[in-house]
Structures are given as structure tokens and as C-alpha cells.
Amino acid sequence: MKTIRLGIFGAKRGSNNLKSILVNDGEIVALCDRDEAILEDAVKELPGNPALYTDFDEFIKHDMDAVYMANCFHEHTPFAIRLLEKGIHVLCECTSNITMAEGVALVRAAEKSSAFFMLAENYPFMQFNQEMRKVFRGGTLGKALFAEGEYNHPMDFDDPKMHRRLRGYPEHWRNFIPATYYITHSLAPLMYITGSHPIRVCAMPVYAPKDEAKILGGMVGERAAIITSLNDDDSVYRVVGCSEFGAHGNAYRICGTKGQMENLRGMDGKVMLRYNDWEIPEGMEEVNFYQPQWPEEERELIEASGHGGGDFFVFREFFSCIRENRKPEFDEYFATTCASVAILAHRSLMEKGVPYDIPDFHKEEDRLKWENDNICPIPRPGIEANFPCCSHPDYRPTEEQYQNYLAALKE
């Protein structure tokens, strides 16, 4: 089996996946991060003597097959394009692009490249989502009609350590990210399970500022956005971005003409599979509760990786695509569809639910419509935000909340 020579761009997040890379026969040959201290910490966990870079221009000269991009959420596209232009395979953290114009540029670059682009989306590979894909693709649920995806991640905003770890400076992207933008953990599993792709989207805000919090630096007052999509097979999805309802967890439900299946909230990965009582497959019950199992020969390796085993399978799939010279399922079209839903759902939300058509970036006529659309609600290095990030554009944390946030960063 060919060992994949991998570079990591963004060593802080990237270092979380070192075990998943190594157990899938990847060799980390280079790391790049602007913070030398992060590089020094990451390299302690690695065998061999990988090269360390603080300059991306020097990093991409290194001899490597692929790069895992784990830099900031809103800064992926320009770096991904440069790697593709050099013929280096790209595994990109979510999201692929932060503007519609970036999505067009990414697709065009990927189409011209000898290398491929893959979205490093790990939630589809969670055990219950892989099980739902297997059951749905087996046909016993019938045609897809409706599906739900919920990524729910409330946090204690009065924990100073959380702010230092996740929102370490006032201009951090997490302080400005709209409620629709971190969408791949809720949307991508549904696309992976059913194969249905959104073609039209609308959204509504759940505006509920954190008045109870004493420490706050974020400029978004929504705790969720409820996003509805019409899909290319006439099915409908209902998803959220990153929501902040009470009780942490991820929930997915697939409803077909013959039955439906879901992972059970708070039940540690158990699934419920139900059928119409006149369409029960042989050997099944009308209602089935069970715990899917990993293959015993790989169980320990999978469970040792992050995100419910998802990180293990992301790197297995990425490396397999390189070894087998095939395009990944989560390619540039899949990725930019997810990003387009996120971006255009926010615009719908700002217009109280006006629907937007999702472009098909396979088509040059769709790309031409969006190639100059640089609307972005998140400030980027050297580029100011040019669109509101909140459904109430004047929302701000109180002065006391914000000063407490600044003080927390200095502790």
C-alpha cells in the first residue's frame, strides 16, 4: 500500500487528527502554521522529522502528495486554489468557500487541476449515519421524501477558557459567523445518506440574544437558523447550521415512502428503524431499535479517532481516492453546494424567508451568475465585512459583556 506524503496547513486543528492520519498509512512530511509554538507542540507527537514552515509560499514547495487544510474557517479557498494549481491534492476543513465568487473560483481551479479537492466533512462517517446510508441505499425505506439534520452545540459563555480556546481575539471568525454558515455537520450527512442535493433554499432566524451571559464577544444574536431546502429529487430537508438549543447532540432522520430511520437523541448512537406495517421487509420488525457496530478488526482504531470515528474514515477515504486515482464523493461540487446553501440561506434569513435557487457549479452559466459575488458577513485579513452577520443588524453584546470578554482573553 502506497504511503501518502501529507502536509498539514494549520497545525492546531490539524494536530487533532494525527492518529487518524498515521493509522491510515499517511506520513506527515511537513507542517505549516504562523505560530511557531503550535508547530513545536504538534511535532512532538510525530514520528520522523517533518519540516516546519511559517510561510505558506515555502510550505507548498515541499515534496508532498497532498495537504490537509485546517486553517481558519473563512480562509480556505485562496490556499486551496494555489495547491490545486500545483497539482497537490487538497483535503479541506469545512467550509470550502466563504463567498459565492470563491466557490466559482474553487470549482474552476479543481476542474483544471491534475489533483482533486475533497471536503473534510466527518459527520457523515459517524456510525449511525453510515448505518442509515446502508439501510437507505438498500431500498427498504423507499423513495426519499423528507429528512432532518441537526447539529446542536450549546456552550457555556461564562467560561473564560472557552473564549480563549475558541474565540481568542475580537476579530475571530466565530464572533461574526451567521447562524446558517456552519452547515456541513447537519446538511452533509443527509446528502451522503440519500444522495439528494439542494436546489432551492429558504431560512428563518431563531433570534434570542444571550442576555444571561456575563462574558460575550460575538456579534450574532441568533441561537439557530431553521433552513429548508427543496432537493433535486423533489425531497425536502430541514436542517440547522450550528444551533444552540438546550442539550448538546446531533440528530438525523430519513423519511421514505415505506419507512423511516433516525438516530435517537441522548441514546449513545442507537438507531430506530420503522416500517409501514404492510411493507415490513423479511426478517425485520415494524419497529427496530439497535446499536450499529464497527468491524471488530478495526473497532479500536476507529473509536480512538475523533468525532465518533468520523475522522478515521475521512482520512481513509481521502487516501484511498489518491491511491485508486478516483474522485471523492465530497468533491468541489458537493462542497460548494453545501457552502451555497449556507451563504444563500443567510440572505434568505435576512429577507424573512425569501427563497434562493442553489446554483449548479457544473454549469458555466450558473458560475457566470455568481463569479463576482463577494458578499461576506465575516471580516477577513485585509477585507472588511460587507453584509450584516445577524438578522438584527444593530445587535451588539452589552458593553459590560464585551469588556468582560476582552478581560477573559487576557487571563
- CATH code, domain with 218: 3.30.360.10
Show which of 355, 370, 385 is a domain's final residue.
370
315 within some domain: no
Q: Do 71 and 135 sit in the same domain of this protein?
A: no
302 within some domain: no
380 within some domain: no
Supply the pTM of this predicted model.
Answer: 0.96
Q: Do 170 and 214 sit in the same domain of this protein?
A: yes
Domain extent for 58? 4-119
Q: Do 108 and 146 sit in the same domain of this protein?
A: no
Whether residue 125 has pLDDT greater than 80: yes
Q: Quickly count: other Cβ atoms within 10 Å of residue 199's Cβ.
A: 17
The bridge status of strand 51-53 relative to strand 66-69 is unpaired
Count: domains in the chain: 2
- Asked if residue 111 lies in contact with residue 83, where contact means CB atoms within 8 angstroms, the answer is no
- Three-state DSSP state, 106: helix
Q: Do 77 and 179 sit in the same domain of this protein?
A: no
Which CATH number belongs to the domain containing residue 8 in this structure? 3.40.50.720
Q: Do 95 and 150 sit in the same domain of this protein?
A: no
Phi/psi at 5 (5° precision): -85, 110
Compute the distance between CA of residue 57 and CA of residue 326 in angstroms, rounded to an integer.
Answer: 28
Reported as a pLDDT band with limits 50, 70 and 90, residue 364 is very high
Q: Quickly count: other Cβ atoms within 10 Å of residue 203's Cβ.
A: 31
Q: Do 65 and 198 sit in the same domain of this protein?
A: no
Mean pLDDT, all residues of the chain? 96
Q: Do 112 and 134 sit in the same domain of this protein?
A: no
Share of residues in the chain with pLDDT > 90 (%): 90
Compute the distance between CA of residue 84 and CA of residue 100 in angstroms, rounded to an integer.
Answer: 19
Q: Do 239 and 268 sit in the same domain of this protein?
A: yes
Reported as a pLDDT band with limits 50, 70 and 90, residue 268 is confident
Compute the distance between CA of residue 224 and CA of residue 349 in angstroms, rounded to an integer.
Answer: 11
